[in-house]
Amino acid sequence: MTPDDIFAALHAASGAKLFTVTLLDRDAGVAWRAYTSHPEDYPVTGTKPMIENGWAAQVLGRGETFVANDTAGFAKYFSDHAVINALGCEAAVNLPVSDGDLVQGTVNILDVAGHFTPSRVAELEALVSDARTDLLNAFKEIREAR
């Protein structure tokens, strides 16, 4: 399976309205999109600087899932919140993918307001956990091809 196959299968299993996978390049200080369900709005060529903030400390630093069930919960961290809202999404969950030592990337799932109930978040965490080895292998393959 190719990395895109792995990401697409995870997207389908998540049922997400908007789905992206982001890889981290800590040396360059950027995060870059490796997969997207909306290539016109969020192309895979997109990068953004890794910024020190509460979201980064939680997700990238401590490896904890970030959940916001309304725009106000993520707007202070996501400068593209207007684009997210225009796509019909008002809730976000970011799931870190760790190699055991460091977070290597995130699975980002966005949907309608209030979508991410505790049980739904637990299901998504289990989905990403079950796919962890495949995700890390996909990340490695993508990095080597870059």
- Per-residue model confidence as pLDDT tens digits over 61-100: 999 999 999 999 999 999 999 999 999 999 999 999 999 9
What is the C-alpha to C-alpha distance for residues 138 and 91, in angstroms, rounded to an integer? 26
Q: What angle do CA 30, 4, 100 make, to 5 degrees?
A: 55
Of the candidates 128, 119, 98, 133, which has an alpha carbon nearest to the alpha carbon of residue 19?
128
Q: Which of 71, 31, 68, 35 is nearest to 51 (CA)?
A: 31
Domain count across the chain: 1
* 30: pLDDT strictly greater than 90: yes
pLDDT of 74: 97
- Are the CB atoms for 141 and 3 separated by under 8 Å? yes
Distance CA 62, CA 57 (A): 6
Q: What is d(CA 113, CA 143) in angstroms, rounded to the nearest whole number?
A: 34
Which CATH number covers residue 126? 3.30.450.40
Looking at 36-117, list the stretches that DSSP marks H as alpha helix, in order from N- to C-terminal side. Answer: 54-56, 71-74, 81-86
Angle at 113 between CA 110 and CA 116, to 5 degrees: 60
Q: Which tens digits make up the pLDDT trace of 98-144?
A: 999 999 999 999 999 999 999 999 999 999 999 999 999 999 999 99
Q: Which domain holds residue 11?
A: 3-145
- This prediction's pTM: 0.96
